[in-house]
Structure 1
């Protein structure tokens, strides 16, 4: 192939290299992305449960909301802390093996909870097993797939894969709410376990670890042989953390993303339904449906955010997202009613658009700052996201037990979002790496 032909190769179809075969009409990267999307949906099914089960578990076992919130916080913390090690393990053992084991852990924890009788069992099943499983399929999983299989359209693909979690919420929240309302919490837990197991065959049959495994170049890039497996996965994850933590950008990214987790998973996903149902007497199916609507608009907002991230300054995007989220939380206490009113619908739509729109620009900033180590660095940034979520999941329950209201929690979260916006603006701009220019 002469140089003229090579330079004319279209995006996503780089010239054939030694060891590579001609690409199919639909690049295999899109099939891998589709499997990743479905996997995240299956693994995210459990995320629909905690907010629905706080009141049923409190009623059946007499456990305080603080105790139940602690189990949820363990799950969220492990979800985040597992992510950087999972990214390193995927380098060592392959994406497919790690994800299959993770799906099995989620299914085991959800199924075992059906027979629990003590709160410490809730910590083990919901906290430990499900936390480790979902953490291995966290956003670091999406980052690894995106970095390996895509050079072009990375922002868009990141947005699509991030939206998968919202899609799981959209699918499972109304279903689980209906099951809890009609049949109790145990059948809902079994449903989540089955959802995780159903995904396993798709992962094993269709997922591939690297484009070179099927003789292809990444989408929009040049062919490269698969690198040798990286040994010492845990050690590498820690070394990357220590290197990144020496600079201010890591702490700004981690701090702002911790607030992101506090104001989404920790606050709204965990405490919105108990607040609406128990404090304001809204039917559980109506409250769960509102969260599902967040999932609908989250898909739109996150994909659009990925598109914007390919074109605009990620720092300014983050500042705008956090500012608008904080303002909306300040109005939430005034919108709570026993019935769904138009102002609440407006809040839900807006919050959905902003829910995890923060992920594509945060991942882009990690990629700009840390290059090939960015999936692991992002895993640690995600860990901070989940630590923030875990703290608010626990403290929000304690605040409700002590104060008898969630109002203070909503206001505090709004103030934190203002801090996150300032953190985003404090990040220094880094010149784009060559492959990032190509991807645009």
Structure 2
């Protein structure tokens, strides 16, 4: 599809890139920055808190066939919006976590399932749906945004933790996530 300014596919790709940057930055690269703060405050062991990330990865990957079916039926846009809203809810909930089991539910399940529905599969579907000639370039741009999330978010989270504490940082990340979901 062409617009007056050129190929329209670059617009949805830009949204997918922002989703990947923010999602990867929070999902993969920021959780470990929180662990020392939360573990120290509540006396949690690293094995217990680290296990929540394992649950997150399982919750992210196991529903993939369901995610694919949902994208086929409703399209990637609705899945991105609903999935990222679930991630935002999980991040807000993390600001209230006081027990280890809450990490498993809020980050492990809500953020994991939400990321599965809202980031990887639907964003790569956007690229596959819009690009034929420059599909490799578009996919490379999308996937490199995930790495950029690892460059941007850990220092940002470290600064936020020292400025507003871990509860305020979770809320800030939720606000960022909700904002980029709307965009």
Q: Any conservation in 1 of the 2:56–2:109 contact (CA below 8 Å)? A: yes
The match for 1:75 is 56
Q: Are 2:173 and 1:192 equivalent residues in the alignment?
A: yes
Q: Are 2:9 and 1:29 equivalent residues in the alignment?
A: yes
For each residue in 1:35-79, what CA deviation from the matched residue of structure 2 results, as whole angstroms up to 9, or x when unmatched?
A: 111122232342232111111121111111110011111111212
Q: Distance in 1 between matches of 2:65 and 2:6?
A: 31
The match for 2:89 is 108
Q: Any conservation in 1 of the 2:94–2:107 contact (CA below 8 Å)? A: yes
Q: Are 2:143 and 1:165 equivalent residues in the alignment?
A: no
Structure 2 unaligned spans of 5+ = none
Give me the TM-score of the superposition, normalised by structure 1.
0.39
Bigger relative contact order (CA 8 A; separation at least 6):
2
Give me the TM-score of the superposition, normalised by structure 2.
0.91
The match for 2:134 is 153
Q: Are 2:42 and 1:57 equivalent residues in the alignment?
A: no
For each residue in 1:270-296, what CA deviation from the matched residue of structure 2 results, as whole angstroms up to 9, or x when unmatched?
A: xxxxxxxxxxxxxxxxxxxxxxxxxxx
More helix by share: 2
SS of 1:98's equivalent?
helix
The match for 1:15 is none
For each residue in 1:135-185, what CA deviation from the matched residue of structure 2 results, as whole angstroms up to 9, or x when unmatched?
A: 123432232112211111211111110112122222222110112234321
Q: Distance in 2 between matches of 1:182 and 1:190?
A: 13
Structure 1 unaligned spans of 5+ = 1-20, 203-440
Q: Any conservation in 2 of the 1:40–1:137 contact (CA below 8 Å)? A: no
The match for 1:132 is 113
For each residue in 1:73-130, what CA deviation from the matched residue of structure 2 results, as whole angstroms up to 9, or x when unmatched?
A: 1111212223342232111012111111111111111111111221111110010100
Q: Please, which of 43, 51, 71 is the counterpart of residue 23 of structure 2? A: 43
How much has 1:22 moved relative to structure 2? 5.8
